[in-house]
Amino acid sequence: EVQLVQSGAEVKKPGESLKISCKGSGYSFSNYWIGWVRQMPGKGLEWMGVIYPGDSDTRFSPSFQGQVTISADKSISTAYLQWSSLKASDTAMYYCARGNHYFDYWGQGTLVTVSS
Amino acid sequence: QSVLTQPPSVSGAPGQRVTISCTGSSSNIGAGYDVHWYQQLPGTAPKLLIYGNSNRPSGVPDRFSGSKSGTSASLAITGLQAEDEAEYYCQSKDSSLTGSVFGGGTKLTVL
């Protein structure tokens, strides 16, 4: 059974750094793209970017390029989404999902709250 | 404002048929890129409903169907059920972007 399990909710202060994770199981992690999707409170889905764990090829939406880092460690079947300096506007639910053109399996989401 | 436009809301009575539109342009749907649809039940992660314009993943009832024509796509739901009440999103690639984009979402209310 394909599963994506994300790390738990985070509460951070503006300016702090954060790295959240997404662990895949039940399939060959290296051979499928993993994407990240943001959903701000009460808002729609936003495509952030994707990574191919096999070679770490990464693509970003222009809206998120330079704002976050996407990485993966294929040895432990885990993808990451990272911020170096959080802003209040980063408060959102973040989903990881398998795929590139479309997402066929989704993680349960990680709620990130940034507040002073 | 997304490059894929969906109506904010649609509604229908149980048993009825509803459609949700997704209007794009010559740089996305009209360029030949596939359209995919997701269902997001309240408080849960999105779920893939339709991929490649009209294909249903295993386990998705055949009450759900997708189509595409020109610069638009549609999701149709027949035999509406209370459990279909959710937010629905379309997704496609856009040639002006390095990746994909989602529509703004449509809230389906079952009356």
**Cα–Cα dist A105/B45, whole Å:** 10
Compute the nearest-CA separation of B58 from chain A (Å): 11
Tell me the two tokens of residue B91: 């997704």
Question: What confidence tens digit (pLDDT) does each residue in A62-114 have?
Answer: 999 999 999 999 999 999 999 999 999 999 999 999 998 899 999 999 999 99
Strand partners for A9: none
Question: Is the Cβ pair A45, B36 closer than 8 Å?
Answer: no
Point out the residue among A50, A104, A106 whose CB comes nearest to the CB of B57.
A104
| Residue B99 reports pLDDT greater than 90 | no
The pLDDT value given to residue B98? 76
pLDDT given at position A83: 98
Share of residues in chain B with pLDDT > 90 (%): 93
Residue B54 C-alpha, separation from nearest chain A C-alpha, in angstroms: 13
Task: Find, in chain B, the residue whose alpha carbon is nearest to that of A96.
Answer: B45
pLDDT level of residue B95 (50, 70, 90 thresholds): confident
Give the contacts of A34 (CB within 8 A, at least 6 positions apart): A4, A22, A24, A50, A51, A53, A72, A79, A96, A97, A98
Separation of alpha carbons A66 and B22, rounded Å: 29
Distance of residue B16 Cα from the nearest chain A Cα, in angstroms: 26
Are the C-beta atoms of B81 and B110 separated by less than 8 Å?
A: yes
Q: Quick check: B52 pLDDT over 80?
A: yes
Confidence of residue A22 (pLDDT cuts 50, 70, 90): very high
- A→B interface, C-beta within 8 Å: 37, 44-47, 49-50, 59-62, 95, 97, 101-109
Q: What is the pLDDT of residues B5-19, one digit of tens each?
A: 999 999 999 999 999
Per residue in B53-93, pLDDT tens? Answer: 999 999 999 999 999 999 999 999 999 999 999 999 999 99
pLDDT tens-digit map of A44-57: 999 999 999 999 99
The yes-or-no verdict on residue B96 having pLDDT over 90 is no
The pLDDT mean for chain B works out to: 96
* First vs last C-alpha separation in chain B: 28
Indicate the helix (H) or strand (E) that contains A38.
strand A34-39
Residue B36 has pLDDT above 80, yes or no: yes
